[in-house]
Structure 1
């Protein structure tokens, strides 16, 4: 039988692709650079083709390396899934789902699901992380989280993930000290007041920039806060308004002090994930429950 690549060699090759650098890959794998280089040379010898171009200016995957990479990833993912499945079946470990939620969406809305699965499905646990878009997509790509909960569509490449629609978030104008018995507020009225905004790199900052396109928003007149909870609290204490999700206000028990937007702003909430994840069965249970419950919660 012909010699085959080792698991360590395949893993090292995948790490190299993520870092694009021998030194960084070796550091991440906690081995010396010479040991890493030896692994890559042996992998190329076993496969029979050159996988990495090396020069004084750096290194990069060859065409053959780019073709081999998805196969190496598939093999490692399949092995990880198989080991994870047998450990779960033997009750050697309890699966833990790591879920990243867009910070501007508000992670408190997942509390009820954490509670539900803790009480009714104690065979797995949940870790919830609040992140912004770049961070959540990076951690999803690097498999540090299993599921991302975010707004779509966005301007990011999502081709490597599967997405499932959860619900639509209706955004409202929250300003308890500024509006009295108002049912609707125009875009001009919203920006004429002290409108609390999101930091520039946030998804919601881009969404609001598009929403207010053509209107003059003087940045110096508008504070930027890190999350919707801080915005809601700020508006409760100051003569200011913010664009936030009505669903988030409902979950927080805030049922007044806001008005509909004359020009509606509705955002689609979606799960993004990879089906190849070794925790797929557990992931599906969680997502199916959330999608099933979303219409009921939205109607309350």
Structure 2
């Protein structure tokens, strides 16, 4: 009987087919490029056909490689789904990989996951905190099963299953700044020192566009941070303000020092996932739980 490729070799080949170059594919597979190349070479030896053409200008799938990629991807998804189903019969279901938007804060999702694990036998999760575009990229490449993020105008989320599970109010957090009248206008926010999300984040882009649309004053940004935790801590130690999720502050027990924004900033929070995911049934169980938690109509 002829030798068959290993699952890891096949999965790495699928990863290459999605990225189209060895460097990106090796990073996605979380192994060194030399180890990744060795896996692909072993696969080609077993199959007996060159699957990837290599040259000084780069690499690409051969015709045989394109055929294998097109035929293999759905088969591999089905096989992984079958294995997950078999493991679940023995209480060993594969964990769901869940991605959470950095600017959203993970404290609520962590609590949901802890509660879900207590009440649903065998449930397990791997949680990743990433920037929004990274989340979408990893969902697109099947590296995450489900992601939670704000739906912002610059995001393309068509083509995914979408569940809006709550709406998030953004408030002005400034414990050392007195806001007259208890409401922070765009003019007032722009007139004070401001802490913002990192410039490469879509939340930074969105909030800058929001403020620019409602004030002609230039922003006095003095610091940039990757997480709402860091922004909150910096505001607590300095005379500076930041735009943060109200639900995030409440979850951390922050009862004062934040103010409503005028005009209000209300962002829908979505769960995104693929119908074609082999763990679709497990995803649906979690999504239904989230919908019940936030009283979302079915």
Question: Which band: TM-score by shorter chain?
Answer: 0.7 to 0.9
Partner Cα distance (1:191, 1:106) in 2: 24
Tell me if the contact between 1:96 and 1:126 (Cα under 8 Å) persists in the aligned partners.
Answer: yes
SS in 2 for 1:272: strand
Whether 2:241 is the aligned partner of 1:241: answer yes
| Length-normalised TM-score, structure 2 | 0.81
Unaligned runs of 5+ in 2: 27-32
Deviation at 1:35, TM superposition (A): 3.6
Label 1:65 to 1:160 Cα distance change in 2 as closer, same or farther (>3 A): farther
Partner of 2:203: 204
Label 1:141 to 1:171 Cα distance change in 2 as closer, same or farther (>3 A): same
RMSD: 3.1
Map 1:54-203 → 2, pairs under 5 A: 57-61=57-61, 69-91=69-91, 93-179=92-178, 182-203=181-202
Unaligned runs of 5+ in 1: 45-51
Aligned residue pairs, count: 284
SS in 1 for 2:176: coil
SS in 2 for 1:222: strand
Give CA deviations for 1:181-208 in whole Å, capped at 9, x if unaligned. 7332111100111111111111210111
- The answer to which of 142-151 and 238-247 deviates more is 142-151
Give CA deviations for 1:226-275 in whole Å, capped at 9, x if unaligned. 21112122222221111111111221222222221111211111111122
Partner Cα distance (1:204, 1:167) in 2: 18
Deviation at 1:29, TM superposition (A): 4.3
| Length-normalised TM-score, structure 1 | 0.80
Label 1:257 to 1:146 Cα distance change in 2 as closer, same or farther (>3 A): same
